[in-house]
Amino acid sequence: MSQLPYRNTEYFSLSDFKQIEVGLCNVSFVPLYGTDTEKKLLALFSPDDSNTIVGLYLLDRWWGVEDVLKTAEPSRTGLIKVSTLGERIVLYVLNRIVLRNEKSGEDVFFLCHCEREAAKILWKDGEAIGFYSFKPKGSLCRNFVTQCYQLPVMDTIFVRKCHRGQGHAIKILEDFVGSFRNEYIGLKFPLSEAISKVCEKYFSRYPADKELLWEVEKIGSPFQRTLIVNRLQKLNLKGKKNICIFSFCDMEILIFVIICDDEFNELIGISCN
């Protein structure tokens, strides 16, 4: 740590023009590939939050998080396979920094991707705005090292908040399915509400694929998978609650009340059958 690349009075400017001092108290190494501690990145942490990374030391200088996500090729657009070290770093930034900074109630934290993770980054006008990763059929399962995945399984997917609602998630699912045309394909259990909605839209466009997509647990053996279309149908049925209408008079005012909660109906002794 005594040879860290900074001087006693070095400052780093954030995107909002705020300057923070670079010192031993807010600089640390972070593993690029999670449990693999051999390959690390030098990270600068926010003085206001010791868990928030605001910069990375790359190519002999500090880079802000947003700058790492931009490339010198503004024409780079679409889903591109992660293959270079630079792309691995971009994937790390999206997954371990941006996702946590932008997390909403529907987002799920993911573990670090391993060095040889099969993944694609979603680019738009030279800027990385999302990603997805998957486990190829036949690859070893991290939690069951003697067992292999029985089908390709998408296990992480993310699109930045400012780019949501523009059809990017559908494009990601189209790309994933298109990579394994006419094969059974898995999405990791449990499906979030957002991904369930994406699947519904996908099936409305491609009804012939309803028998291809499965919600997968563990390695996706025949007893560890459920057809996503069946799961969506069950959720839709569960969401439909019985409606009961009754009336009562009070001070010559007739009031109609609609009850849509089964537990409340049972409590007051009303049958919706």
What pLDDT score was predicted for residue 239? Answer: 63
What pLDDT score was predicted for residue 126? Answer: 97
pLDDT digits (tens, 9 = 90+) for 36-68: 889 999 999 998 888 999 999 999 999 999 999
What pLDDT score was predicted for residue 199? Answer: 97
Residue 19: φ, ψ to 5°: -105, 135
What pLDDT score was predicted for residue 97? Answer: 96
Query: Start-end ranges of CATH 3.40.630 in the chain?
Result: 69-239
pLDDT digits (tens, 9 = 90+) for 152-186: 999 999 999 999 999 999 999 999 999 998 899 99
What pLDDT score was predicted for residue 17? Answer: 73
What pLDDT score was predicted for residue 106? Answer: 66
- pLDDT-flagged residues of the chain (< 50): 2, 6, 242-273
d(CA 172, CA 195): 11
What's the Cα-to-Cα distance from 160 to each of 37, 104, 164, 168, rounded to whole Å?
A: 28, 11, 6, 10
Choices 3.40.50, 1.10.20, 3.40.630, 3.30.1360: CATH for 69-239: 3.40.630
